[in-house]
Amino acid sequence: MSAVEREPGAHLVTARAVHPIEAESYRILRTHFDTSGFLPYTRAVVERVIHASADFDYGTDLVTDEAALARAAEALAGGAPVVADVEMVAAGITRRDALCAIKDPAAPELAAAGGITRSAAALRIAAEKAGPGAVYVIGCAPTALFELIAIAEQARPALVIGLPVGFVGAAESKAALRESGLPAVSNVSGKGGSAVAAAALNALIYRDLVKEGNAS
């Protein structure tokens, strides 16, 4: 797990009530996988992804950077836009609106004109609407992640949560993300998906998840 050895400061994030089922899920999770060695934001992301997927492989598959996560949490607390590649990702992000252009009528037209996929076209449209400094959450389409990497100089993302799933292009797009040097959350394998990508974003919104990581 890639991280810098420093304790990031607390940021103002959304308060919430934790349901007893969620609390029990975290208790069970921690009995099966020791996350105490992770730094606070990294731990929050790793635990939230495992909680959402019931897949402990993410404990070693995820690649994060603690400093990038801390900066992204601060950006989100300050109102940074959130961009999602598909509506399922947007639906999984709680208490924050996410910009998703997959149903924008211009997306298929741009895709046809540019010889790119609809997902890539939608990402380009959403990036133009969001402007620099958005947090991107990509959980479905590797082509959307490749597109974001290609336009990164213009988009200047605060963070890229790149967790697309699949056998074709998913692992390769995430490797390209890591090679790009962009602030990112990714994983090495072809695993991923809308639920885990949204979970990684949600981990940066709620202060209690980071506090829990500090507490034990």
Written as six digits, the tokens of 27 are 């208790």
Strands ordered across the beta sheet of 135-138: 62-63, 184-187, 159-162, 135-138, 82-84
10 Å CB burial of residue 30 (0-12, 13-18, 19+) is middle
Q: 139 in helix, strand or coil?
A: coil
Phi, psi dihedrals of residue 130, rounded to the nearest 5°: -75, -40
- Whether 51 is catalytic is yes
Q: How many CB atoms lie within 10 A of CB 197?
A: 30
Per-residue CA distances from 120 to 11, 111, 179, 181 (Å): 32, 7, 19, 20
Catalytic residue among 11, 19, 32, 51: 51
Q: How many CB atoms lie within 10 A of CB 209?
A: 23
Q: What amino acid positions are annotated as catalytic residues? A: 51
